[in-house]
Every structure is written in C-alpha cells, then in structure tokens.
Chains A and B, each alone.
Chain A
C-alpha cells in the first residue's frame, strides 16, 4: 500500500514537472499576456527564459529599440581608474569614458543620466560585449583587429594612447635597456600584457611577470614593492600615479612601446546602433572644431555657420530620420557633456579633477594632433 502511494506521488510530481516543462518550452503565451507592457518588446523568437538579464541581444538589430523601451543605456565601464571611470565624493560614476556613454544617452533618450554603468574587469569586458550584455562598451578598450573580429564593432578612436613603463625614481633605472631581469606588474587580459611579452622577447631580455585581474591589485602590488616596474597605457599610469601615497617617488619613462587606440565599442550585428554611437562620437569632436561648447550650444543653434546649424539639427538631416532619432539629438549630447575638449579638460586638463596630462596626439588635427572626425552633415 505504502509503495503504491509513493509511486503515485512520483507520478503526480513527474507529470507536474512535465507540464511545467512543456509550458516553459513553448513560447509561454500566458505570462506574456499578463505582463505585456513591462518586459522587452524585442525578439519574440526567443523564449523569455533564454535571455540573460539585460540583454536585448544582437540578433535582428534593435538595440536602439531596447534602450528606448528600457529607458536607459547599459554601458560597460569601470569605477577604478581616475580620469576614465571613477566614483566622485557623492558616489556618482564619472570620467572620460563615462561621459561618452552619457553623451549617447543624451542623444538617444534625451537624458544624460539615463545610463547604468556595469563595472567590468579587463578580462570580463570582451565576453560582456560579445554577448551584448552591454549596449556600449566604453572602458578604455584598445581597438585591435582580433577584438574587432571577435568582440564587436569599434566606433572611432576617442583617445590615442601608448604603453609606457612606470618605475621608482630611486631604482636608478634611466632607460629600458636596464630592464633585464626585472619584475613587472601587469593586468591580465589586456593588450598591455601581450605588448610586454613582445617587448622583452624582441630584445632578448628576461623578466618576471606578476599578473592580476584587478587593476587595483596590480598597482598596490607595485607600490608595495612586489615589482620593479609596472606597465600600462600612459594615461592609466598617470592616473594611477596621482593616487599613490607619494606620486613624486615614481616616474613614467619617456618611451612608448605600442599604439593603444582607446575606442568605444558596440555589439556585433546592429548596424544602425553602430552608426548612432559613431555619429555621437563624431559630433563631440566636430563640436570642438566648430567652437560649440556645453555653455553656448543653445545660442549656437542660431549661428551663422552652416556646419554648426547642421550639427545641431537646425538645417538639413545628418541622418537622424534614418536612425530614428530626434533632430536635436547631437545638440542634447553636447549640452550634456560638452565637446571633446571640454570632456578631456574636465578630467585630464590643466585644471582636471583627476590628473593633468598634455593632450599630445589627442589634439584636433587642426591643432597638430591626430583627432579627426568625419563631418556631420
């Protein structure tokens, strides 16, 4: 008798499971009806259970629709690098990279605050972009051919950087020729790591690499003396040094061993979104060139410069109808974060909050730099 009872229970339970499973495998019409207005309207092809979190994914386009429906832009960034992505005293995420996201949010949603920054480690950012967990990756990512092929679409170089070395002043090293046998602290999953290996291999010198995933761990190990040298993009070294207990005790060698074009990227598979983010970046650079600033963007709307009128959506169509944006989208972006020069100076200029770094190649092409954006018209 008891056996029969157990058997019966098992049967009932398994049939319940079966029906639950059957419901899950089908496209689940019932819950979709009851909660119709709330969830993502995109991709009816996938069962709700299969998408992971905030991922209105890459297939069939629709990132823009996803962002609009969600009401905010999900931006892969960081919180641990002064100048690029950091937290201010009030706990807000600020920085050069974050401002680029805010510009896109302002252009697309009309609200620069409508972003959600997902902090990513260097090793996590690739997969996050590949799986379209983020709408946009702005986390000082070096644009390389293999990443372009594997990770996503790279928009336009927003920061021209190069890898350098930081050493202690009292170490007595003056040039890279004296590096043989040194210990080097480096972040894992970066181009830096590869460049470092190439650099020493090319010169036939030996070294000991000490490798961490967290940027903070790399520099605290260096500061504690675990390493003789630490290496990264020069902007990052300048940024980190500003946070050391004694910045003056460290020096960044005057040598650049690589090209590091730091570039915001978007997931593969959505051309319209790719174009949108690119054009916002063009606009920030063009705005500086045309003298449009955060402060004067309203009065510039009645400027007598035709290029300014086009940039701000006052005359002609720079493509907004095709992309599904408002005419003043770029004006909103500039009003939110300012032009390229203003963003740069806010964090890294002479009066910058984080540190001071000469603009160097990041000057406009007309000022002797290499910053050059296609016209917005």
Chain B
C-alpha cells in the first residue's frame, strides 16, 4: 500500500535531500552547473589571454635579454617598423589569396554536392570531405613536402607531361615563384589551399542546401535562363556560406607557423615571428604584441563578415 502521509516518511539520504534543495532553488542549481566550466574558462583561458596582452606592455631589454615589468607602448609601435610590417603584410596577403582561391575551388564541389547528389552519394561526398578535414594537420603538411620535393610526385608528373618550361616560367615570377617548387610562394599557397579547403566546402554546401528549390523554380518561371538564375539568385544567396568558410581560411592562415616553415621561400609569417620571439630569444612582450595583430584583424574581419550573414551560416 502506498504510504499514508504525503511526503514519504523517510526523507532519504543526503543525496535526496540535496536534490530537494536544488529543486527548490533553481538558481543554485544553475550556478552549480556553471561554476566548474566558468571557473576553468575564466581562470585558465581568459586569465591567460589577459596575461598575454598585458605582457605586450612590458619592456624587453635587448642587451640583457630580459623582460622587465616597465609599462611601454614601444612593442606595439615596433609593429609598424618596416621589417615587422613586411611580415604582417606578407601574412595578410597570403591569407586573402588563400581565402579567395579556396572559395573558387570549393564552390563547384559544394554546389555539386548540394544540388546534384542525394542519399548514398551525398553521404559519400560528405564523409569524403569531412575525413581530410579531421586528418592530422601535420601529416597533410608532411605529405605535401613529399609531393613537392625534387624527386617527388609533382616533379614526376611535370616531367612526364613535359611541362618543365612552364614550371620554370612560373617559378620565375617574383612573389609567386621561387627556386624550386617546394621553396616557392606558389607551393606554400597550394599547401594552404589544400589544408583549409574542407573548411570552405562544408559551410558553402550547408548554405546551398538551405536554398529553397521553390526560389529556383520561381526564377525559371519568370523567364531566367539557368546562367542568370545562378548569377542573380544562387550566388548572392550563397554568400553567407562563403563568408563563413572564409572566416576559417583567413584566421587559420593568419596564425599558422608550420606551413611557412616547411614549404616556401624564407620569410617569416606572423606565426613564425611569434614562435621565434618567445623561444630562444625570450622576447615575450614583442611576441605578445605580434599576436595582437591577428586578434585585431580577425575581430575586424568577423564584424565585416557578420554583416554578410556568415554567423547564420556557421
């Protein structure tokens, strides 16, 4: 028989009474849930970010190679010196070029996936794009060093197709070429495009999927030829997806230091500079100042791209 009293006679153990308390006080329950993650992120993550930025104000004595907590803006000012500014320019121009190229290469793939595949084929394409995205970054970079090497696959193909003259020509162009394929800007550019490509494909594909077919039918119904429908309807509506993908390509290129090291002509990227400064040199303040550049640039880029609707496409 059920108990005569309303509340069970046995108030239960400590756990049950704790459950009662949390039920009566939902705010307490919420705080208990949030405190561990917030503590971690607040202390560990935000704390370290602020420490880093604060370091940017410290002074680095070139002679003694030590850091002193004298506050100064010299580090940030130094960013505008020719040598440093070169680095920044080099990195940003590569980031922009890679984003544009990735967009161009990714679009047909995403478009085909979204509009012309269904069921098993679509799942196949999806996995086929996702797996390289999650495959180890360092291995992908490593694979390209093998590909671009003097005795590697790329050279083999070029020789087999008798394209050496063309290669020489391209390698001769300043800003694009270099001594060999693997020490050329082109090589570095190719590697970047390759590695970030899946990050561009998936958001574009997602935003194309969301395109209601009735829009395209309406366009055709109103007399537009397929090419016009594409230019006037599909392309503008896929801009949020392209913008979303570009967030990844832009910010990932800005911060990378491994690919520039492995492939391409000598010349630091922001990432290399940061790594070098904090490493053996120990100039943490300058390194911190340099990291501010991608932070600011990404923040600016995010605000531009947000207006294009990228956040809804993520």
Q: Do the two chains bind?
A: no
Binding site for B on A (CB under 8 A): none
